[in-house]
Amino acid sequence: MTYQPPKVWTWEQPSGGSFASTNRPVAGPTHDRDLPVGSHALQLYSLATPNGVKVTVMLEELLEAGHKGAEYDAWLIDIGKGDQFGSGFVEVNPNSKIPALLDRSGETPRRIFESGSILVHLAEKFGAFLPKDGPARTEVMNWLFWQMGSAPFLGGGFGHFYVYAPEKYEYPINRYAMEVKRQYDVLDRQLAERPFIAGDDYSIADMAIWPWYGNLALGRAYGDASTFLDTASYKHVMRWAEAIDTRPAVKRGRMVNRNWGEADMQLPERHSASDFAK
């Protein structure tokens, strides 16, 4: 039956499907809850979704590279339980989405929200994984913003209708599968002539894109989506995805703020490097 939209939309029930409880048409807190604060200057409030993994990988890469000031406390924000709507979290991110970072290294704590903004903040703060100027910096920023604009079609579009929607519908699945495959072709062509997304050097562009497109290509997202989308056919993407997957900092970053899946891949909170040994 064809859906006939009402003249004026009203919110009468949850949107349906998985994660329905995380969606509502209004902003602001639903309850009072202060955020915990640890001993480090950097306080991360997040969950190991692709957007969350971007930041934990960045922080672990900074530590791997010897930037001791990148030590951080990572606190779990369970979006299924509505932690993102607590008053403390909303103060750090009024958009109620993970990840959110509080940088307490200066006289006044600074809030940084949106994963791309956090990556740029950390890259500039430590002078790493982002060229300081010139064409090389522009190219990294090009691909960082490509990811920010493209991934909603992958997650909120394809992923939602392929896995999380309460019913399967041919039109949206085909529509978003076509777009995601186009995006993989964009990446495959880019990676055909260079080892990393923006050139010869590993950068925040790779850290932003890999948790979405690399993980799916490796068969870790949306059930059997890697087979359905034939990600193995994108040879240059697969080479890149597998190479980044072997990096020790990436392995650690995938674990942080994760509270599901295999037990040895879960580290709901992270406060020091020794936590990984536990």
Q: What angle do CA 138, 110, 125 make, to 5 degrees?
A: 40
**pLDDT, average across residues 265-269:** 98
Say whether 82 sits in a helix, a strand or coil: coil
Say whether 181 sits in a helix, a strand or coil: helix
Please tell me the predicted confidence (pLDDT) of residue 22: 82
The answer to whether the CB of 51 falls within 8 A of the CB of 98 is yes
Q: What angle do CA 114, 120, 126 make, to 5 degrees?
A: 135
DSSP state of 213: I
Residue 18, both tokens = 């998985």
Confidence at 21, pLDDT banded by 50, 70, 90: confident
Separation of alpha carbons 278 and 275, rounded Å: 5
Please tell me the predicted confidence (pLDDT) of residue 12: 79
Please tell me the predicted confidence (pLDDT) of residue 199: 98
- Alpha carbon 264 to chain centroid, angstroms: 21
Q: What are 102-140's pLDDT values in tens digits?
A: 999 999 999 999 999 999 999 999 999 999 999 999 999
Residue 167 has pLDDT above 80, yes or no: yes
How many other C-beta atoms are found inside a 10 Å radius of the C-beta of residue 246? 8
Q: What are 46-77's pLDDT values in tens digits?
A: 999 999 999 999 999 999 999 999 999 999 99
Say whether 199 sits in a helix, a strand or coil: strand
**pLDDT, average across residues 10-32:** 82
**pLDDT, average across residues 6-34:** 84
Say whether 47 sits in a helix, a strand or coil: coil
Candidate from 14-28, 150-164, 220-234, 244-258 with smallest mean pLDDT:
14-28
The answer to whether the CB of 58 falls within 8 A of the CB of 204 is yes
Residue 270, both tokens = 């992270």
H or E element in which residue 110 lies: strand 110-113
Please tell me the predicted confidence (pLDDT) of residue 122: 98
Confidence at 221, pLDDT banded by 50, 70, 90: very high
Please tell me the predicted confidence (pLDDT) of residue 278: 82
Say whether 247 sits in a helix, a strand or coil: coil
Residue 18 has pLDDT above 90, yes or no: no
**pLDDT, average across residues 81-96:** 97
**Phi, psi dihedrals of residue 91, rounded to the nearest 5°:** -65, -35
Please tell me the predicted confidence (pLDDT) of residue 74: 99
Name the average pLDDT for the chain: 96
